[in-house]
Structure 1
């Protein structure tokens, strides 16, 4: 295990609900995602961390999610994106084939942060490691609700997230009483249909 992933594990803790990554998935994304990420997949699998507050995921399972958020927007013209990680409440971390880690979508608010930095091919592995080094538990814990949600609703599986019902964008309260354990793919697609994706105001940015 390299130093970067060791630091990541110090922040988030031991993995849960590990899925082994087949060689076919690594071959599928070679040249599209950084070699360093594919190496982490091979060694560590697709897993949840921090008791499920943060997940490194199979991008293929989320292709329909990415399409539902990106298609018809300017982002579609900008790059080809793959969802490589997500948070327990629906923060989505997307990797651009040309721009690296350049897009974060906060699905339950329909807001995004876009980075226009374009790493060279030689910088992609470093960009991926930088992404893991800046990831932290607090940024994925909406309103300090993760621990209460886990206690009330149970630990998430790899295909689950905590979702507000009714959704915040439909006027629902962002409280524990209105959180449910939901299927991640289906809920993220549902959220994409509620409001147009917009960038955060500069003063709100938390990348």
Structure 2
């Protein structure tokens, strides 16, 4: 694998998220397994930083192998067959960032709301060998305010969750009881620290997963009943 210096995109990410506050080194077998499946740039980050935690668990770079079962459950069989997908990062509230071998940043799964959101993807760029650049931009574009969740009064929740429950461990997340998809009550009183793998496995039995594309997002955001005037996803890729 080629050697890289830390790129400007990841430098910018570190300016916002600071250095990892927990790290686990990645062994050679794991690096070899994902060679050719995920961008070399990501494997380089793994070599430099390991699987790691930022800001007490607000954002994580994780081992995709740990999330294979949960990812298959949330994407479903039909979607899973379209590409080879991997969870490359996640948030402290269980948001999963999904990368496809051919499509790049393909899905964002928001379990608290039961959403599987189809992203624009990077298929054309990846087909021309630009997967490393697209991976850099994935990290560069991460913003704390978008990873954070807010309560019903639009007040950020994460730091209050850490103050109440402590920082998150690798297998932990902050979730809502009952789930927001059912209750719509994003109060700190309804937050609990829970095992992320158990929660992601059980939640689909309790809620209806919504598969959201650009057209559906437009309908939700603007209250559009007739979607005929909204662009097709293929026009946006």
Distance in 1, Cα, partners of 2:53 & 2:93: 13
RMSD (Å), alpha carbons = 1.8
Q: TM-score, normalised by structure 2?
A: 0.81
Shift of 1:172: 6.0
Provide Cα deviations, 1:58-103, integer angstroms capped at 9, x if missing partner. 000111111111123x422322210000011111100001101121
TM-score, structure 1 normalization: 0.92
Contact 2:116 2:209 survives alignment (8 Å) = no
Aligned counterparts of 1:29 and 1:91: Cα–Cα separation in 2:
22
Question: Which range moves more in the overlay, 195-204 or 100-109?
Answer: 195-204
Residue 108 of structure 1 aligns to a residue whose secondary structure is coil
- 1:197 — aligned with what? 210
User: Whose relative contact order is higher, 1 or 2, with alpha carbons under 8 Å and at least 6 apart?
Assistant: 1
The SS at the match of 1:86 is strand
Q: Which residue of 2 aligns with 1:178?
A: 190
For 1:197 and 1:87, how far apart are their aligned partners in 2?
19
Unaligned runs of 5+ in 2: 1-5, 151-155, 223-237
Corresponding residue SS for 1:195:
coil
Equivalent runs, 1:126-141 vs 2, <5 Å: 126-141=133-148
Structure 1 stretches of 5 or more lacking a match? none
Q: Does 2:161 correspond to 1:161?
A: no
Partner of 2:46: 41
Q: How does 1:24-173 map to 2 (within 5 A)?
A: 24-72=29-77, 74-114=78-118, 115-118=120-123, 119-120=126-127, 122-143=129-150, 144-171=156-183, 173=185
Cα pair distance change 1:191/1:121, threshold 3 Å:
farther
Q: Decide whether the 8 Å contact of 1:55 with 1:86 is kept in 2.
A: yes
> Aligned-pair distance for 1:159?
1.2
Aligned 1:1-40 pairs, distance under 5 A: 1-40=6-45
Number of residues of Structure 1 aligned to a counterpart in Structure 2: 204
Asked whether the 8 Å contact 2:175–2:194 carries over to 1, the reply is yes
